[in-house]
């Protein structure tokens, strides 16, 4: 379906915790503008897989290639620097800061007041925030409001906006719709469509088959640490996916 | 098929936010108005207090309270030490911690400054001895700050416990160094700094004002300040954003200890003597000033501007009650009531802005 060079290639990845095999020989390819869903029961290895990709720990064996080059990340920061950003369930936002403050958290732009005094460049932060959020079709007039004033879906958009601003090529989203109401879920799904249209790769973990079918191109089902199956969304059904998950 | 370069408003955009947008924006505006009023509450408190004492003074003996320059001067001098402690405490409380050792770090610095200035005065002359004594006192004050910082950041001791331990240690060391008594200073230059004034403004008030202004800049305009707020709101988020939490906390507790160190030196200058118990009654006052100033003890909010008002609220209550000749024990009661009212306002505000608008 998509012949462009893959953004991310994971081949034969395994992870052991002592004698416990959490993940065995899992492979995965994400191409630009592609949304790959990861599904599976609790303990199937979804989280282990994304942690191995995003630098939380190194895989025991196997290879991760980013745009054709082998990579090995010691920390999530290294992965982030290379353009792999993980959006966590709990959002990882500082509620008391503005959208701009969150986007630039840890790498705030500075300017010189009166020609010598270094101060935070809030104007630049607000501007970048406004532009980034507009790219995600999210418009707010009050850029100086703390993000605690926004709804769950809007906050999810801020977390995604931060990744987009720092030019993440691969976004890993762990249950991005789990804690949200139905209209908010729709909003997040449309955000993922935006990311897709911008040519980014998305790995999307969800328990919600409806969401998966609404937004993904392919689905990879894990079961007890191995790949139970990989399907194109256009060629599979809810029933088949559920069977793969429970091992029918 | 999906690698088309269709940037901008793409297909999925239309479906999502037909209803949520204007509503949420409207809510933002209303909430921030409430927040703004709540942020100013310490200044409103202060204004009400001053007007109250002024009315009392005029009605009961036909005098003036705040327009009397002597009163104004006394209140500002009175506020210097609690304000300096509260400035350091503001940073710590915003980060989600608390520093209980500040009062005795101040005492320690006061004693060290007295000893050091006495030791250097014969050899180096008065101004040089004061400068060196000041530096040594602040450096010594930084030591318990370093230990606090290491305890909290490396050993993950809860700030309440770690700094409570350091409260005891600093107290004991200060009394040991002072020999259980006060240490008089023989340096008239130091006494001038402590009691002199320029155009009726005491030097120590000027020094404190400049320092507090610098701290306001540090909190509101620098990365250090921004990270401090982020850590107080969500440590996990701060860590994921690549902020070095351990080094931040270490610097944070050193900073608060240095604030207490400066307060101690100014105390010695004002009384021309160092005393280990210099900051003993100020510990709770400084926490109270921060809370009255609008910071939340849960971390994540607070400003130096608010803390300044909080410190003056306490100073005005304490001085004002003496001025109108009420039994001094009423000070405790009124400061206590103001603290409780402040926390109630904080919680009401929290309830207001905490309930997020769901689309």
For chain A, what percent of residues have pLDDT higher than 90?
A: 15
E strands along chain B, which residues? 183-184, 197-198, 201-202, 273-274
Q: A-contacting residues of B 209-268, CB under 8 Å?
A: 217, 221-223, 226-227, 229-230, 232-234, 236-238, 240-243
CB contact under 8 A, A77 and B353: no
Chain A residues close to B357, C-beta within 8 Å: 149-151
B69-94 and B203-221 are packed helices; what angle lies between their axes, rounded to 10 degrees? 30
Nearest to B230 among A105, A190, A199 (CB): A105
- pLDDT tens digits along B111-138: 999 999 999 888 888 888 999 999 999 9
Residue B102 has pLDDT above 90, yes or no: yes
Q: Does residue B247 carry a pLDDT above 90?
A: yes
Q: In this complex, how many residue pairs, one in chain A and one in chain B, have their CB atoms less than 8 Å apart?
A: 169
Who has greater pLDDT, B10 or B250? B250
pLDDT level of residue A209 (50, 70, 90 thresholds): confident
- pLDDT confidence bin for B81, thresholds 50/70/90: very high
Phi first, then psi: give them for residue B307, nearest 5 degrees.
-65, -40
Domains of chain A by residue range: 8-83+169-246
pLDDT greater than 80 at residue A112: yes
Residue numbers in A near B232 (CB within 8 A): 96
Q: Which of B303, B310, B312, B315 is nearest to B289 (CA)?
A: B310
CB contact under 8 A, B29 and A142: yes
CATH class of A8-83+169-246: alpha beta
- Shortest distance between the Cα of B106 and any Cα of chain A, in A, equals 30
Residues 118-177 of A with CB under 8 A from B: 118-120, 135, 137-142, 144-145, 148-154
Is the pLDDT reported for residue B290 higher than 90?
Answer: yes
**Which residue of A94, A108, A197 is in closest CB contact with B10?**
A197
Q: Which residue of A has its CA nearest to B17?
A: A187
φ, ψ for residue A205, nearest 5 deg: -95, 130
Q: Which residues pair with A28 in a beta bridge?
A: A10
A193 touches chain B (CB under 8 A): yes
Q: Residue A30 pLDDT > 50, yes or no?
A: yes
| pLDDT tens profile B332-352 | 888 888 888 888 887 877 776
- How far, in Å, CA of B136 to CA of B116, rounded? 7
pLDDT at B311: 94
Please list, in sequence order, all residues whose beta carbon lies within 8 angstroms of the beta carbon of residue B123, skipping any fewer than 6 positions away. Answer: B129
Which 20-49 residues of chain B touch chain A by CB within 8 A?
20-21, 24-25, 27-29, 31-32
Does B28 sit within 8 Å of A4, measured CB to CB? no
**pLDDT at residue B2 greater than cutoff 60:** no
Q: How far is A172 from chain B (nearest CA, A)?
A: 14
Position B137 scores a pLDDT of 95
Full set of structural domains in chain B with CATH: 41-353 (1.10.3470)
First-residue to last-residue Cα distance in chain A: 28
Residues of A in contact with B24 (CB under 8 A): 140, 150-151, 154
Q: Does any CB of chain B come closer than 8 Å to the CB of residue A75?
A: no
Please answer yes or no on whether A194 and B10 come within 8 Å at the CB atom: yes
Give CA separation, A70 vs A65, A166, B32, B255, B268, in Å. Answer: 4, 22, 49, 44, 64
Per-residue pLDDT band at B33 (split at 50, 70, 90): low
Higher pLDDT, A245 or B267: B267
Per-residue pLDDT at B23 exceeds 70:
no
Q: What is the DSSP letter of A225?
A: T
Residue of A nearest to B234 (CA): A94
In chain A, count H helices and then E strands: 8, 12
What angle separates helix A182-197 from helix A152-165, to the nearest 10 degrees?
20
Tell me: pLDDT of B263 over 50. Answer: yes
Q: How many residues does chain A have?
A: 248
Distance from CA of A15 to the nearest CA of B (A): 23
Q: Confidence class of residue A1 from pLDDT cuts 50, 70 and 90?
A: very low
Cβ of B28 within 8 Å of Cβ of A138? The answer is no
B101 by DSSP, 3-state: which? coil
Nearest to B226 among A32, A120, A141 (CB): A120
Sequential DSSP letters for A99-133: HHHHHTTTS--EEEETTTEEEE-HHHHHHHHHHHH
- The 3-state DSSP class for residue B1 equals coil
For residue B77, which phi and psi values (nearest 5 degrees)?
-65, -45
Nearest residue in chain A measured CA to CA from B6 = A197
pLDDT number for residue B32: 61
B237–A105 C-beta distance less than 8 A = yes
pLDDT value for B31: 53
Q: Is pLDDT of B11 > 50?
A: no
Q: Report CB contact under 8 Å: A197, B232.
A: no
Rounded distance between C-alpha atoms, residue B110 and residue B180, angstroms = 13
The proportion of chain B whose per-residue pLDDT surpasses 90, expressed as a percent, equals 52
Considering only A140-144, A233-237, B153-157, which range has the smallest mean pLDDT?
Answer: A140-144
Nearest partner of A81 among A108, A55, A109, judged by Cα: A55
B19/A183 touch (CB, cutoff 8 Å), yes or no: yes
In this complex, do A101 and B230 lie within 8 Å of one another by their Cβ atoms? yes
SS3 label, residue B68 = coil
User: Looking at the complex, does the CB of residue B2 fall below 8 Å from at least one CB of chain A?
Assistant: yes
Residue B353 with chain A: CB contacts under 8 Å: 148-149
């Amino acid at each position: 379906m998509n012949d462009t060079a893959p953004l991310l290639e994971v081949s034969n990845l395994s992870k052991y915790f002592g004698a416990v095999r959490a993940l065995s020989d899992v492979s995965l390819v994400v191409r630009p503008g592609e949304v790959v869903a990861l599904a599976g029961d609790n303990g199937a290895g979804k989280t282990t897989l994304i942690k191995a990709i995003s630098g939380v720990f190194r895989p025991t064996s196997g290879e991760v290639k980013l745009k054709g080059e082998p990579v090995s990340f010691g920390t999530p920061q290294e992965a982030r620097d290379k353009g792999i950003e993980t959006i966590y369930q709990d959002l990882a936002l500082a509620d008391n800061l503005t959208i701009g403050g969150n986007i630039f958290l840890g790498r705030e732009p500075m300017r010189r007041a009166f020609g010598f005094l270094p101060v935070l460049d809030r104007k630049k932060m607000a501007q970048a925030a406004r532009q980034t959020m507009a790219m995600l079709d999210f418009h707010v007039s009050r850029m100086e409001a703390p993000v605690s004033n926004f709804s769950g879906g809007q906050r999810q958009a801020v977390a995604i906006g931060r990744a987009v601003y720092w030019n993440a090529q691969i976004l890993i989203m762990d249950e991005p719709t789990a804690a949200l109401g139905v209209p908010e879920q729709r909003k997040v799904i449309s955000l993922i469509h935006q990311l897709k249209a911008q040519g980014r790769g998305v790995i999307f973990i969800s328990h919600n088959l409806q969401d998966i079918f609404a937004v993904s191109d392919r689905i990879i089902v894990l079961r007890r640490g191995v790949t139970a199956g990989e399907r194109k969304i256009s060629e599979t059904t809810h029933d088949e996916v559920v069977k793969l998950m429970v091992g029918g | 098929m999906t690698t088309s370069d269709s940037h901008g408003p793409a297909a999925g955009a239309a479906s999502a936010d037909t209803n949520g947008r204007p509503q949420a924006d409207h809510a933002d505006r209303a909430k921030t108005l409430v927040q703004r009023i709540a942020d100013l509450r310490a200044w409103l408190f202060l204004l009400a207090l001053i007007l109250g004492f002024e009315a009392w003074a005029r009605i009961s003996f036909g005098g003036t309270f705040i327009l009397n320059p002597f009163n104004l001067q006394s209140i500002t001098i009175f506020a210097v030490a609690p304000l300096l402690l509260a400035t350091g405490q503001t940073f710590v409380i915003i980060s989600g911690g608390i520093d209980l050792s500040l009062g005795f770090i101040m005492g320690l610095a006061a004693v060290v400054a007295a000893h050091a200035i006495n030791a250097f005065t014969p050899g180096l002359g008065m101004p040089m001895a004061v400068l060196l004594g000041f530096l040594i006192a602040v450096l010594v004050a930084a030591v318990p700050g370093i230990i606090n910082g290491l305890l909290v950041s490396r050993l993950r001791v809860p700030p309440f416990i770690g700094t409570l331990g350091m409260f005891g240690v600093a107290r004991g060391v200060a009394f040991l160094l002072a020999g259980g008594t006060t240490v008089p200073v023989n340096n008239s230059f130091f006494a001038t700094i402590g009691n002199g004034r320029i155009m009726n403004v005491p030097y120590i008030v000027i020094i404190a004002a400049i320092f507090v202004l610098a701290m306001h800049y540090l909190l509101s305009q620098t990365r250090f300040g921004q990270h401090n707020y982020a850590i107080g709101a969500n440590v996990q988020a701060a860590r994921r954003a690549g902020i070095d939490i351990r080094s931040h906390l270490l610097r944070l507790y050193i900073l608060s200890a240095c604030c207490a160190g400066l307060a101690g030196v100014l105390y010695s200058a004002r009384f021309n003597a160092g005393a280990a118990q210099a900051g003993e009654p100020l510990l709770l006052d400084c926490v109270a000033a921060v809370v009255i100033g609008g910071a939340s003890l849960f971390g994540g909010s607070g400003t130096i501007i608010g803390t300044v008002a909080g410190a003056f609220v306490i100073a005005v209550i304490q001085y004002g009650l003496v001025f109108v000749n009420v039994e001094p024990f009423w000070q405790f009661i009124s400061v206590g009531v103001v603290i409780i009212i402040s926390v109630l306002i904080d919680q009401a505000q929290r309830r207001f802005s905490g309930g997020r608008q769901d689309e």
